[in-house]
Chain A
Amino acid sequence: MTSAVRFQKVSRHFGSVRAVDGVDLDVASGEFFAMLGPSGSGKTTCLRLIAGFEQPTAGAIEIFGERADGVPPYRRNVNTVFQDYALFPHLNILDNVAYGLMVKGVGTAERHREADRALELVKLPGYGTRKPAQLSGGQRQRVALARALVNKPKVLLLDEPLGALDLKLREQMQEELKSLQRALGITFVFVTHDQGEALSMADRVAVFNNGGIVQQGTPQDIYRRPKTAFVADFVGSSNLLSPDLMALLGGDRRWASLRPEAVRLAGDGTEATVENVSFLGAATRLAVEMHGTKLHVMLPAGADVPGVGTRVRLAWNRQDIHYMDDAA
């Protein structure tokens, strides 16, 4: 498998700020790769390094085996869908989409035909004559996608493309993006701070924190076996169990994580007090207090829901306890 994008010890420092620090990364060709992390974790800078808007302070970047440092953005066969779409306000939709072909010298008739096809691909046929200001957020997002895809990029970079959309539209676009990526076979590198988005769409996820990658792996891997407390907390809203609590419960004296849905109410478990109950539709989430630690318990729909203040007993399977490297 050729790698589409490879980072070797890549750093990007802005003065004393280490935005990206010694990142190793390997995105396989045709893969849907998500870079997940809180704001300021370095994920967007990594994306800008691939696009060529930033140059690495140290390290090497390869795109399909070719050294990319020093190559300006307009000489890279990589296209970006920007967070706020960055559509050209003075051009109509068709000319926006055809822009990449126009600057490459493709004739008017041909580039308009290609642009029409790209607009059909993103389900906006017939919108060519409108101006970006006349479109809704979701439609602009699709135009930005078409404008990038019309160039048939080797790698498509998406910088929080769904951030500005409402929930319903976001879920719809997630599915569409995923099936588009499968159909076109283009490598997608997707930046997001939304763990649900990353887990549901990506083939592989890299979790960023403080300018570095904390963990890389499949969504299942990262969700079930978080390497650090940060990943457990950020990715799964997992319960963190301190070494002292683990010792009390008869386990190893180490930090561990326990997913809320792995915990169940049982007649013979550890005692806890219900502090809050949130109805989420498909499930009900309890906030409980157990030996001085706050935990979340996810009850499936249809289960009996205890009231606030009641004493309950909690149980879980031993294999659902996942020990971690650290608790940083």
Chain B
Amino acid sequence: MTALSVSHSGASILSRRNGFAGALSDSFWRHPKLLLLLMLTPPLLWLGIIYVGSLIALLMQSFFAIDDFSGVISYEPTLATYAQLLNGTNLDIILRTVLMAALVTIASALLAFPIAYYAARYAKGRWKAFFYLGVMLPLWSSYLVKVYAWKLILAKEGIVTWLFAKLNLTFVLDAVLSLPVIGGNSLSVSYLGTFLVFVYIWLPYMILPTQAALERVPGNLIEASADLGATPAQTFRTVLLPLALPGIVAGSIFTFSLTLGDYIIPQIIGSSRLFIGQAVYAQQGMAGNVPLAAAFSVVPIVIMGLYLTAAKRLGAFDAL
């Protein structure tokens, strides 16, 4: 009894922290909403005014039109720019870009899944570190350097041509390049080349979310599925894929929207036909047609909106 009471002598039971910092942290503890408000205000200001605000300003531009004679923007609300957007050449640019983005996304998903599956299920310790390094390392070097490196790799005098020649497979390369539409004089000036570089550049953005989703699928669900008589293919289709789908969709948002908006890769590698990003660049720069450039930049936003709505309808986010 006496031994226990010793510790109480001197100090009061409810000790108070003195000073301004102590009073501040005490009052934050009593009013948690105040702290939340204080923490959220700067990012909300940034996101709300600088980010969303400038986006809205840009989109408003698309409802103005340029005067054909003077080249001056007339600030009267009109849909003339959108009519211009949907005519022949401009519509071709949109379709070309969307098709490329879709193909790049599908190819990335197919390439990413086995890598992500291995990393989530089998890689441990050092191999896991190696996986992260391998996926992230390409992101650390400059995007421009990588794209120019690919230009050299795919060029007519480049290493790919040399390799095919060494293997006596030049006829395969020639056959691929002679394919209509996707072929060309060399890989570096063909749609095929553009596609390869797009997939290379955006692949990490597909692997990482897919791996994160697969990591969250408990191993015993796979066992339970097999236990109930599902073959590995059935388990993949009915358990693994539905549970990994939110991750794949997250990855596809990256690969799809990044391809939709990119203007450097198709300019350096590919045929000279334009993609949306290049059209935006040309219209707001040399052509000085900011309304059309703004209308072009609405396209990816609308497409992503439609894409996400469709994904939600198909139940891609049910497992979230």
Contacts and interface: CB of A to CB of B under 8 A. Distances in A.
Interface string B191-229: 000000000000000000000000000101101111111
A79 interface: yes
A86 B229 contact: no
Contacts of B230: 74, 99, 103
B84 interface: no
Interface in B10-31: none
Contacts of B221: 86, 88-89
A99 B228 CA distance: 7
Contacts of B228: 74, 79, 99-100, 103, 147-148, 151
A74 B233 CA distance: 11
B237 to A, nearest CB: 10
Which of B228, B229, B242: most chain A CB closer than 10 A?
B228
A51 interface: yes
Nearest to B318: A90
Contacts of B319: 89-90
How would you classify the secondary structure of chain B's contact residues: helix, strand, loop or mixed?
helix
Nearest to B231: A74
A74 B229 contact: yes
A168 interface: no
Which of B230, B242, B318, B319: most chain A CB closer than 10 A?
B230
Given A74-B229, A103-B228, A103-B234, A86 B218 contact: yes
Given A99-B228, A100-B229, A73 B242 contact: no
Contacts of A100: 228-229
A239 interface: no
A77 B274 CA distance: 60
Given A74-B226, A99-B225, A100-B229, A82 B220 contact: yes
Interface of A: 51-53, 72-74, 78-80, 82, 84, 86-90, 99-100, 102-104, 147-148, 151
Interface of B: 218, 220-221, 223-232, 234, 238-239, 242-243, 318-319
7 contacts: A53-B227, A74-B230, A79-B227, A82-B224, A84-B218, A89-B243, A147-B228
